[in-house]
Structure 1
Amino acid sequence: MTATANIAAVLPRIAAERPEQPAMRCPGGKGTDGFARYDVVLTYGELDRRSDAIAAGLQAYGIRRGMRTVVMVRPSPEFFLLMFALFKLGAVPVLVDPGIDRSALKQCLDEAAPEAFIGIPLAQFARRVFGWGLKTIRRVVTVGTRAWPLWAGETLARLERKGAALLAAKAARGEATAMLADTHGDEVAGILFTSGSTGVPKGVVYRHRHFIAQIDLLRDAFGIAPGGVDLPTFPPFALFDPALGLTSVIPDMDPTRPAKADPRKLHDAIRRFGVTQLFGSPALMRVLADHGEALPTLQRVTSAGAPVPPDVVSTMRRLLPPDAQFWTPYGATECLPVAVIEARELETTREATEAGAGTCVGRPVAANTVRIIRILDDAISFWRDDYVVGPGVIGEITVAGPSATDEYFARPEATRMAKIRERISAREERIVHRMGDLGYFDAEGRLWFCGRKGHRVETAGGLMTTEQVEPIFNTHRRVARTALVGVGARGMQAPVLCVELKSGVPDSEWVHVQAELERMAMRDPKTARIHHFLRHPGFPVDIRHNAKIGREKLAEWAKAQLRGVLH
C-alpha cells in the first residue's frame, strides 16, 4: 500500500501553529511615492481556510481528483489559493508560461488535454480566440470580473462563497470540513511545462513524491528555517514558501521580464518587510548588481535558470552582508536541485571559468546520484555502467534521485530520449534523467557545466562547448555577452561567435572590438578555430528567466549572415 502524500498537507499544520503569520504580501495599489502599498495580505490561517472553501466550491462545480486543470492567473493571492485548493482536491494543475510563442502555447495546451481552465479574463478571451482546449475543456472558472460575455462557466469568487457555505453546513452537522485528498506519492500532482528554450516546451509530470522531495532537498541544501521572509521573483517558486513556513512578498514587477524589473521597487519591498531571502534569475541578479545598492537584510540569495556571470556574483557578494549566502543551484524543471555551490567557493573558480574550464556548479545534493556518460544522441533504454566516463572527461550529465521526474506528458518520444531505466535490485528499478547538458567532474568531485548537448559545436578539429568558450570573450570590457554557434554539418561545423556589445558602445567601435576578439581567440587552443565574429543587436532569450540564449535562432541568423562566405 502506497503511503498518503500531498504537498498541501503541511498547510493545515502551519496554519494551526501560526495562523496570523502572513503567508504572502502582494503589491495591491500604488502609494503617493509611486511604490506599491502591499495592502493585500493573506495569513496562513486565511490561506488554509480559503483554499478549503475554494476546493469545496471547485469540487461542487465538477473539478475532481485527477482532473487536468490549466491555471493562467497572475501572481496574486488567487493564484496561491487556487494552487493549494487544487492540490487539496488531488486535481492536477497545468502551468504554462503565457509569454511563449502562440503556436507553441496552443500545442502545449492541446497536448495536456485539460478538462478545466481557470484564468483571468484576458486568458479566457485568448482561449476563445485561439481555440485552446476546444475539444477537452468542460469546466471554466474566471478569476476577477467577467468583462466579456463570451464564455460560460463560473467565477472564482462565486465558487469560494459556495464552498464556504457547503463547509459551514458540514460543520453544523458535526462533520469534518478539512479538504485534503488522500493522494499517494506516485499520483500525478501537476504538469509543469519547460521554458522551451531548446524547442517546443514539454510537460513535465510531477508526482506528489517529487514535490515533497523537492521541498526536503531545498530545505536541507540551503538551511531554510520557518519564519523567514522571501522575495520570490519567479512565481512558481513562491509555491514552496508556504510548505517551508516562509512569508512571501510578491514583487512589483513583470515576472516574465526580470531583466526589466525596477530595482528601486525591489529594494523598497526588501527594506519595508525585512526580506531575508531572495530568489531570482541571473537577469534579475544583473539588475540588482548594476543598481549597486546594498542589501543589508538579506541572509540568503538563490539564482538559477542559467549560469550567473562571474562579475555579477562578485558584485552581489559585495552588496550582501558578510555572513550572507549566495547560492547558484544547478538543475532543471525535470529535476531540481541537482547540485549546489555557494558564491565564496564559486569565486575561487572564476579564473578557471574565464580561462575556458566551464562553470563550476558545485557538488551534487546528497540524495542525488550524478554521473557523466559519454556523449550519445540516441535513446538509451537501460543503464549500463560502461557508459560512465572518468573525471575530467566531458560527457552528458545524468541524475537519479527523489526529485528526478520520470516522464513527459503525452510526449513518449521525448521521454524515451531523456529517461533511462536502471535496475538497482532484483525488485527495484529507478529512472535516470539525462539532463541534456554537458559537463565533467574535477578531481575534487565538483561538477562543471559546459553547456547544452544540443548546442555543442563539432568541428573537424574536435568538440567545442558554449560554457568553455563564451566566458573567455565575455571578459572583454566592451562585450555584454557572447554566444557560440555552429554553421554546417556536425563534425564539420564552422564555429561562429555572436557578440552583444555593452550599452553605449558606438557602432564605430565594432571594427576595433572584432580585431581584439580575434587576437583573444588565437591565444587559446579552445578558441583558435573561431574565425567568424558577428555583432548581434540583442540575443533572443527564454521567456522564463530572460537568461537562456536562443542559440538555435542565432545559428540560423549566423548562417544567413555568412551565406556566400562559408563553402
Structure 2
Amino acid sequence: MSDTPPVSRRVMNLAQFLRQAARRFPDAIGFVHGEQVLTFAQMDARVDAMAAALSARGIGKGDRILVQSRNCLEMFESMFVAFRLGAVWVPTNFRQTPEDVAYLASASGAKAMICHKDFPDHVTVARAAAPTLTTLVEIGSASFGPDYNALVAAHLGMRFPAADVERDDPCWFFFTSGTTGRPKAAVLTHGQMAFVITNHLADLMPGTTAHDASLVVAPLSHGAGVHQLVQMARAVKTVLLAAEKFDAEEAWRLVERWRITNVFTVPTITKLLVEHPSVDAYDHSSLRHVIYAGAPMYREDQKFALRKLGKVLVQYFGLGEVTGNITVLPPALHHPEDGPGVKIGTCGFARTGMEIQIQDEAGAEVAAFETGEICVCGPAVFAGYYNNPEANLKAFRDGWFRTGDLGHMDDEGFLYITGRASDMYISGGSNVYPREIEEKVLEHPAVAEVAILGMPDPTWGEVGVAVCVPRPGATLLGAEIVAFLKGKVARYKLPRHVFVWNELPKSAYGKITKKLIREEITARGLMPAPPAP
C-alpha cells in the first residue's frame, strides 16, 4: 500500500468572482434593474449578509437551496449566496406551476427555499411535497417566511468566507425542461463551471472586459444565469429589463442607455427583437455579441437579423447537461447572404477543449455527412443526474454523453443538427427530419413561424403535419404551403396536413416545443383518432 496521502482537488469557489469584482472595481456599477443600481461592493456585502443569515439557520455545504422568482436582484444574488455557502443553487423557471416546483423541491431534497412574494402557492405545495424543506425566505414581503432584504439588513457588515470546495463539489442543479418526461437535475460542479466560464469567454465573447455591459432578456434560472455568471468573471455590469414581461422596445432603449455590448437570447427572442420597429429607433452600435442558443436559428431569420444588426451574431449549441459547451459559430461565419463558401445550416465547430462524435445506435463513429446521434466528451460535461442512476445509464456510453440530438458533421468538423431523435418520424418506411422542411417553409414570404411534426396515420404509420404562423397582415392557406414546397423537398417529405394558427405554443423558456404543439393539435381535434387496437 502507498503511504502517499490523497491529493486534494480543491478549486476556486465560484462566489469568488463577485469578491474579485468587488475588490478591483468596488464603486463600479454591477447591477441595474429599473431605478435600482448597485455597485459590485454593495452586491458582495449583501451576498455575505444573506450567506450569514442562512448559515445561522443551519444551511451549509451540500444543502440545496430552491429559488422560485422572476428575474430580480435577489434572484441573481441567490446564486452567489449558494456558492459562497458551498450549497447547491436550485433555480426554477418562475413560470412553472406550484406542482412543478413541488416536484423540483422533492427531487432535489431542498433544505431551503427563497421565493418571491408573488408565488405563495408554490411554497405551500413545495413544503407538503418536500419534508426536507425547513427554511423559507420571502422576497418582497414576510407572509410565509422572513423577508430577504430584512435578513440582509440584519447581517450587513458581516464578512462571510467562501466555503472550501473541490472540483466535483456540486454548485448548481440545472433542471432539464422535461420535454420527454419529468425534469432531471443535471449536477453542475465548481470545477466544471470554472472551465465553462473560461470557455465562454474564449469562444463566445473574446475580449470581454469590465468596460462591457450585458442585457438579460431571458430567465436567470437557466442559460441566462450561466451567461451572467460569465459576466461576473470579468466584472461586467448586468442590466435587467424593468418590465415583468418581455418588451422589445424597452430592450433596445436599455441597449442605447447602457451601451450594451452583449446579450444572451434564444432564436425566438432574437426574432422578436429584430422584427420590432424599435430596432431602428435606438442606437445599438455598441453591440458586439448577440449570442443565441437553445435551438438553431432558421436561415431566413439569420439573414434578417444580420441585415438589422450587422455581423454580431454568435450561435452556440449545447444542452444544459453540457452548459452550452458543444459548438460555436462566431460572427465571422454568420453571413448575411448565401453564396460560395457559406456553410448554411451549421451550428458551428467544436468548442475549445471539447470533442464531438456522431455515433450510430451501437456507439460506433459514422462517416462525415452521415446522420447519427451527436455525442460529446470534455470538461464541460456535467457530473450526471442527481439521484437518477437509470437516466445516467442511458445518457452515457463509453464515456460519451449522448445528447439525444441527431446530426452530421462535414469533412471540416462543422456540425449540422437534423433535430431531436424524438422529432424524427417515419412515413411509409422513410425517415423524415422536420428541420430541413421547416427551413424551406420559412422561405415563403408570408410565413413567420413554422413547426413540423409527425402524427399517427393508419396508412403511412405517421404523416407530416405543419403548423404555420403568418406574418402580420399576411393571409395564408395550407394549400399554398404544399404548392410552395413541391420541387423543393422530396414528395414523401411533403406535410400531409397544414394548419394556420395565430401563434405557436412555447415552453417556459421561450422555445417552440413539439410536445406542446402535438398536445394542442390533439386538443383541437384536428387529426383523426387512431384506430382502436
| Class of the TM-score when normalised by the shorter of the 2 chains | 0.7 to 0.9
Tell me the distance in 2 between the aligned counterparts of 1:333 and 1:238. Answer: 15
Q: Note if contact 1:67-1:115 (Cα within 8 Å) is conserved in structure 2.
A: yes
Aligned twin of 1:238? 228
Question: 1:45-444 counterparts in 2 under 5 A?
Answer: 45-129=41-125, 131=127, 133-146=129-142, 148=143, 151=144, 153-164=145-156, 167=158, 177-222=159-204, 223-227=206-210, 228-234=212-218, 235=220, 236=225, 237-254=227-244, 261-292=246-277, 293-294=279-280, 295-320=284-309, 324-335=311-322, 336-347=324-335, 359-375=345-361, 387-422=364-399, 432-444=400-412
- Distance change in 2, residues 1:417/1:527 (3 Å): farther
CA distance in 2, matches of 1:54, 1:417: 39
Instruction: Tell me which residue corresponds to 1:15.
Output: 22
1:199 aligns to what SS in structure 2? Answer: coil
Contact 1:496-1:530 within 8 A present in 2 as well: yes
Aligned length: 509
Letter in 1 for 2:307: R
**Aligned partners of 1:116 and 1:350: how far apart in 2?**
52
Secondary structure of 1:403's counterpart equals coil
Shift of 1:450: 0.7
Report the alpha carbon displacement of residue 540 of structure 1 after superposing the two structures with TM. 2.0
Q: Quote the offset at 1:405 in angstroms.
A: 0.7
Contact 1:539 1:550 (C-alpha < 8 Å) held by counterparts: no
Report if aligned partners of 1:281, 1:306 keep a CA contact under 8 Å in 2: yes
How far apart are 1:188 and its partner, in Å? 0.9
Measured at CA, do residues 19 and 406 of structure 1 come closer, stay the same or move farther in structure 2, by a change above 3 Å? same
Mapped contact 1:110–1:132 kept (Cα < 8 A): no
Query: Are residues 104 and 13 of structure 1, via their aligned partners in 2, closer, same or farther at CA, if it must alter by over 3 Å?
Result: closer
Q: Is the 8 A contact 1:15 1:45 kept in 2?
A: yes
Q: Secondary structure at the match of 1:455?
A: coil
Q: 1:473 to 1:316 in 2, by over 3 A?
A: closer
Q: What residue number does 1:547 align with?
A: 511
TM-aligned CA deviation for residue 10 of structure 1: 2.4
Provide Cα deviations, 1:105-144, integer angstroms capped at 9, x if missing partner. Answer: 3322221121111112233443215655442211111122
Cα distance between partner residues in 2 of 1:490 and 1:214: 47
1:83-111 per-residue CA deviation (whole Å, 9 max, x = no partner) reads 21211110111112121355433322221
Flag the 1:531–1:61 CA change in 2: closer, same or farther, 3 A: closer
Question: Could you tell me how far 1:553 is from its partner in structure 2?
Answer: 4.2
Q: What are the Cα deviations for residues 285-329 of structure 1, in whole angstroms up to 9, with x where unaligned?
A: 1122112524212111111111223233222222325xx521011
Gaps of 5+ in 2: 1-7
Task: Please tell me whether the aligned partners of residues 485 and 555 of structure 1 are also in contact (alpha carbons under 8 angstroms).
Answer: no
Residues 469 and 527 in structure 1, CA contact (< 8 A), matched pair in contact too: no
1:426 alignment counterpart: none
Distance in 1 (alpha carbons) for counterparts of 2:266 and 2:172: 23
Q: Are the counterparts in 1 of residues 200 and 230 from structure 2 also a CA contact under 8 Å?
A: no
After superposition, the Cα gap between the structure-2 partners of 1:527 and 1:212, relative to the gap in structure 1 and judged at 3 Å, is: farther
Secondary structure at 2:326's aligned position in 1?
A: strand
Candidates 425, 433, 443, aligned match of 1:457: 425
Alpha-carbon distance change, 369 to 490 in structure 1, aligned in 2, over 3 angstroms: farther
Instruction: Give the SS at the match of 1:186.
Output: coil
Partner of 1:470: 438
| Cα 1:162/1:421, change in 2 over 3 Å | farther
- Name the SS for the 2:192 alignment partner: helix
1:522 CA drift (Å): 3.5
C-alpha change, 1:129 and 1:445, in structure 2 (3 Å) is closer
Q: Deviations over 1:467-519 (max 9, x none)?
A: 1221111211222222222223899532222222314467xx55xx3233223
1:563 aligns with 2:528: yes
| 1:464–1:526 contact (8 Å) kept in structure 2 | no
C-alpha distance 160-389 of structure 1, shift in aligned 2 (>3 A): same
State the secondary structure of the residue aligned to 1:371: strand
Moved more, 218-227 or 433-442: 218-227
Quote the Cα distance in structure 1 between the aligned partners of 2:338 and 2:128.
46
Q: 1:268 to 1:101 in 2, by over 3 A?
A: same
Structure-2 residue corresponding to 1:479: 447
Report the TM-score when normalising by structure 2: 0.88
TM-score by length of 1: 0.83
d(CA) in 2 for partners of 1:531, 1:238: 41
Equivalences for residues 531-542 of structure 1 within 5 A? 531-537=495-501, 538-542=503-507
After TM superposition, give the deviation of residue 220 of structure 1 in Å. 0.5
Q: Is the 8 A contact 2:371 2:407 kept in 1?
A: yes
Alpha-carbon distance between aligned partners in 1 of 2:207 and 2:58, rounded to the nearest angstrom: 38
> SS state of the match for residue 231, structure 1?
strand
SS at match of 1:267: helix
Task: Classify 1:76/1:193 alpha carbon distance in 2 versus 1 (closer, same or farther; 3 Å).
Answer: same
Q: Which shows bigger deviation, 412-421 or 156-165?
A: 156-165
Q: What is the DSSP-based 3-state SS (H/G/I as helix, E as strand, rest coil) of the residue aligned with 1:239?
A: helix
Structure 2 residue 15 is the aligned partner of structure 1 residue 3:
no
Please say if residues 539 and 554 of structure 1, whose CA atoms lie closer than 8 Å, have aligned partners that are also in contact. no
Are the equivalent residues in 2 in contact too, given 1:455–1:551 (CA < 8 A)? Answer: no
Tell me how far apart the structure 2 counterparts of residues 245 and 90 of structure 1 sit (CA, whole Å). 22
Letter in 1 for 2:375: T
The 1:541–1:17 alpha-carbon spacing in structure 2 relative to 1, beyond 3 Å, is same
Please say if residues 97 and 195 of structure 1, whose CA atoms lie closer than 8 Å, have aligned partners that are also in contact. Answer: no
Alpha carbons 1:80, 1:239 under 8 Å: kept:
no
> Which stretches in structure 1 are left out of the alignment for 5+ residues?
28-38, 168-176, 377-383, 423-431
Deviates more, 1:85-94 or 1:409-418: 409-418
Q: Retained in 1: the 8 A contact 2:505–2:516? A: no
Tell me if structure 2 keeps the 8 A contact 1:118–1:140: yes
Q: CA deviation at 1:343?
A: 4.6
Give CA deviations for 1:416-444 in whole Å, capped at 9, x if unaligned. 2112243xxxxxxxxx2111111000122
**Partner SS, residue 49 of structure 2:** helix
Change (3 A) 1:96 1:565: closer
Report how far residue 558 of structure 1 moved. 5.8
CA distance in 1, matches of 2:491, 2:154: 65
- What SS does the aligned partner of 1:140 have? strand
User: Contact 1:359 / 1:450 at 8 angstroms: preserved in 2?
Assistant: no
**More displaced, 292-301 or 125-134?**
125-134
Matches within 5 A, 1:491-530: 493-504=461-472, 510=476, 513-530=477-494
- After superposition, the CA RMSD in angstroms is 2.8
